[in-house]
Amino acid sequence: MDRFVTRNEKKTGDSAPAEKTKTDSRPNHQKGQPKRKYDEAYLALGFTAGVVGADERPVCVLCLKTLAADSMRPNKLRRHLETKHPKHMNKPLDFFQRKLSEYRQQESRMVKSTSVNKNAQMASFKVAYRIARCKKPHTIAEQLILPAALDMVSVMLDETSAAKLKTIPLSNDTVAKRICDISNDLEDQLVEKLRDTRFALQVDEATVSNQDCLFISYVRFVCSESLREDLLFCKYVQTRATADELFKILDSYLTEHGLKWENCIGFCSDGAQTMAGKRKGLQALIKRVAPEAQWTHCVIHREALASKHLSPELNDVLTVVVSAVNFIKTRPLKARLFSALCEEMGADHTAVLFHSDARWLSRGKVLSRVFELRAEILAFLEAERVYDISGKFRDEQFLMKLAYLSDLFGKLNELNLQLQGKDKHLPHLADKITAFIRKLDVWGRHLDEGNTAAFENLHEISETSTSGATTVIPCIKLHISTLTQLFQKYFPNNSMQYDWIIDPFNTPAPADFSSAEEDQYIEMTSDSTFRLRFPAQTLSEFWLGVEKEYPLIGQRSLAVLLPFATSYLCEIGFSAVASLKTKYRSHLRIEHDLRVAVSSLQPRFENMCATKQAHCSH
């Protein structure tokens, strides 16, 4: 009886530790119990030892599977051998020793391969980046770059150094994956910069040569002390390119990447109804979610629309020119004969150019080339007995009108080129348009006096003409007058509205400034520090610095400088897609290649290689 009582007392006395042990969930080796160690006898069961973290774990030499730490027991190792590898149950110890040596050799090869691939992957990424920047096919790396590099290194160095280049992965699919990784990295950098800053959009849609409809968007945003421009996305339009569909693509992209419509303060596009419609166009849909966003009609498109109109007399000249060009260019035999004729006559050019309304500079280039080759065209058309067209090239009035059109559209092409390019702002382009309108007025006054010196080709023809100038000049004057009116229509109130941004220290505050804005404007223009800083900085850099101390006028100026003035970047994007598009590139690859080709950001190669290396190790 005492024995039972004593046992109960021991149980009572041990109840507290027992209760504590019951609630303790730590592993056995953390509670003071010894860890099981590997025994060389376990090799007869097909297991060797591997270290994972701080634990020693059994590794099967047959399937290379690593078991848990508590499986370091003969019965559990034998169970794995019986269930997973029953055919090797009765194998001798020599068999498992041979498997162990193979495993260790394979492990050493993997370590060596990993150390080599670290540099090889970096080289692979950089080659893929250059391929995308040059818009070349992905196969060029394996077919041309790597063989050429092997030849150069083997000649300049030795075969051993050349052999190291063979470890660089440059297959077609590998280059595509590398470009995809670079594109994703660039997009991540861009989105990260856009999340908490103001930005403006530039959008356009077009149908490319293979009938695919593309929707491209570029973004300009505040980055540190300047403004940056970059590709936002390039998406395929699966159905109709309506304003609703385009807005859905744009809105879903911004929402997916956590970008806020409230930060959008500008939106630039062409004047198509789908884009510019005030009620149902993309402009109206964007203003519903971003009321502060101001729409800008592309300055280059407006310039093209203003210069498109021709009087019936001048339009007849253009029609004859296009007919002559088509007669020569659309027939390969005639094109070769005309080229031979031009070489025989000592002409500077041996071919005429096709006219395309979709190209901004096409009309001026076609007219200029035809005027230069007018004698060769006349001889060729007469030799081919095309008298209805060749007779025009003998008419003095026709040649004078042709000379005028070649001169005028040459000047319009110069203006168009001045409007193109990156980092173009409304104040800069407004100055170019104002200067051209003033030139039109001067040219009109000179023509009233009978002076044609402003038009070189016309002046050359008029000096040798006997009676053509008196009948042609009224037609030219009418066209210049109409052109002036059209430019003033498409660019109303173009002058003086940006003077306070371009030259703030010599311009009074605009009348529409509030009293608080006018006070800050006076304080800023009276500050000698900003006066000294103004000539040494760009407009965007200067006004971003002003915003830190005078936020009201700084924000007012950025509302003018941040929005795009043209859709030039979208046109560049479509041209890049045309050179990238092949039957071997999928839609997704086109977007990745385009982003890498046009992005202004630098990829983070080290981060991408480290991520790839970690993935391969895992």
The residue to which tokens 């081919």 are assigned:
384
Residue 501 structure tokens = 């941004």
Compute the distance between CA of residue 377 and CA of residue 391 in angstroms, rounded to an integer: 11
pLDDT in tens, 354-368: 888 778 888 899 999
Compute the distance between CA of residue 265 and CA of residue 558 in angstroms, rounded to an integer: 9
Over its C-alpha atoms, the chain yields an Rg (Å, rounded) of 38
Compute the distance between CA of residue 369 and CA of residue 365 in angstroms, rounded to an integer: 6
Q: What is the DSSP letter of 66?
A: B
Q: Is the pLDDT of residue 352 over 50?
A: yes
pLDDT score, position 248: 94
Q: Is the pLDDT of residue 250 over 60?
A: yes
Q: To which H or E segment does residue 67 belong?
A: none
Q: To which H or E segment does residue 355 belong?
A: none
Cα first-last separation, the chain: 64
33 — pLDDT class (breaks 50, 70, 90)? low
Confirm if 563 and 200 have CB atoms less than 8 A apart: yes
Compute the distance between CA of residue 231 and CA of residue 597 in angstroms, rounded to an integer: 10
Confirm if 306 and 487 have CB atoms less than 8 A apart: yes
By CB atoms closer than 10 A (0-12, 13-18, 19+), residue 486 is middle
184 — pLDDT class (breaks 50, 70, 90)? very high
Residue 433 structure tokens = 């348009």
pLDDT in tens, 497-517: 788 999 999 989 888 899 999
The residue to which tokens 């198509």 are assigned:
272
pLDDT in tens, 417-465: 999 988 889 998 999 999 999 999 999 999 888 888 889 988 888 887 7
Confirm if 46 and 67 have CB atoms less than 8 A apart: no
* Of the candidate ranges 28-42, 238-252, 543-557, the one whose mean pLDDT is the lowest: 28-42
Confirm if 550 and 512 have CB atoms less than 8 A apart: no
Compute the distance between CA of residue 128 and CA of residue 136 in angstroms, rounded to an integer: 10
Rounded to the nearest integer, the mean pLDDT of the chain is: 85
| Residue 310 CB neighbours (<10 A) | 17
Give the mean model confidence (pLDDT) for residues 236-244: 90
Compute the distance between CA of residue 357 and CA of residue 322 in angstroms, rounded to an integer: 12
Q: Is the pLDDT of residue 323 over 80?
A: yes
| Cβ-proximal residues to 446 (8 Å cutoff; 6+ apart), any chain | 452, 453, 454
472 — pLDDT class (breaks 50, 70, 90)? confident
Give the closest residue to 353 by CA, choosing from 380, 373, 333: 373
109 — pLDDT class (breaks 50, 70, 90)? low
pLDDT in tens, 382-403: 888 888 888 888 888 899 999 9
Query: Which amino acid, one-letter code, is at 151?
Result: D
| Beta-ladder partners of 134 | none
Torsion of CA 355, 357, 361, 363, to 10 degrees: 50
Cβ-count burial 317-352 (b if 16+ within 10 Å, e if not): bbebbbebbebbbeeeeeeeebbebbeeeeeeeebb
| Beta-ladder partners of 297 | 269
Distance of CA 470 to the CA centre of its chain: 53
Global pTM reads 0.76
| Ordered strands of the 226-236 beta sheet | 226-236, 213-223, 199-207, 264-269, 294-297
The residue to which tokens 């993309």 are assigned:
282
Torsion of CA 360, 366, 371, 375, to 10 degrees: 180
pLDDT score, position 30: 46
Q: Is the pLDDT of residue 27 over 90?
A: no
